[in-house]
Amino acid sequence: MKQLKTLVIALVMFVGAQASAQSKVAHIDVQALMTNMPEMKAAQSQLDKIKENYDKEYKTMVQEYQTKMQKYEQEAPTAGEALNESRSKEMQEMGGRIQQFQQSVQTDLGKKEMELLKPILEKAQKAIQKVATAKGFDYVLDATTGGGVLVANGPDILADVKKELGF
């Protein structure tokens, strides 16, 4: 009886090991996939336009700051102490607004990028899932450089996913 129990346990462990050893694993460079998606190029173009507008606004603010600073520095020797003090305070406030603008721009650009990339990533993930299911893969690893994959000897499904997405 004890031998039969040991044999059943060994058989279950053997079958479990065989089932897990036969898991099919593939890999894909998600970054390369997304870079080649037409939607990504459109999103990048939109982000570039937004960034360009922010850059123009920033340059205008800085130019205004520099112009006022030069004017105030030239007039400082002849202006009164009270006027110089109020101008100094005005320049500090302008500098603060410029810094606040830069921080606001970074936050806005980050949010906009996430907003634009989310649907593209979701589309890529659905295509990867569809190809993996169709080809019978149990796991698909991200082979993006720095993505954590040390060895990528399994099949690369990037071409199949691109085909699924129509490019």
pLDDT in tens, 42-51: 999 999 999 9
146: left (phi over 0), alpha (psi -120 to 50) or beta: left
Contact 98, 65 (CB under 8 A): yes
Amino acid type, 29: D
Is residue 135 in some structural domain? yes
pLDDT of residue 150: 45
Domain holding 56, by residue range, is 22-165
Q: For residue 55, what is the domain's CATH number?
A: 3.30.910.20
Amino acid type, 149: V
Q: Which run of H or of E encompasses 80? A: none
pLDDT of residue 142: 86
The angle subtended at Cα 116 by Cα 110 and Cα 118, nearest 5°, is: 95
pLDDT of residue 104: 96
pLDDT of residue 108: 96
What is the b/e burial string over 96-109, where b = at least 16 CB atoms within 10 angstroms of the residue's CB? eeeeeeeeebeeee
pLDDT tens-digit profile of 136-150? 888 888 888 777 654
The three-state secondary structure class of 136 is coil
Is residue 9 in some structural domain? no
pLDDT of residue 149: 55
Task: Provide the number of structural domains found in the chain.
Answer: 1
Percent of the chain as helix, strand, coil, to the nearest 5: 75, 5, 20
Contact 11, 124 (CB under 8 A): no
C-alpha–C-alpha distance, residues 144 and 141, integer Å: 9
In whole angstroms, how far apart are CA 161 and each of 13, 36, 108, 140, 156? 36, 11, 32, 12, 10
- Phi/psi at 20 (nearest 5 deg)? -75, -30
Is residue 16 in some structural domain? no
Is residue 6 in some structural domain? no
**Which residue carries 């907003």 as its tokens?**
115
The structure tokens listed for 70 are 């030069």
List the pLDDT tens digit at each of the 167 positions of the chain.
455 445 445 444 454 445 455 678 888 889 899 999 999 999 999 999 999 999 999 999 999 999 999 998 898 888 888 998 999 999 999 999 999 999 999 999 999 999 999 999 999 999 998 998 898 888 888 888 777 654 556 788 888 888 888 88
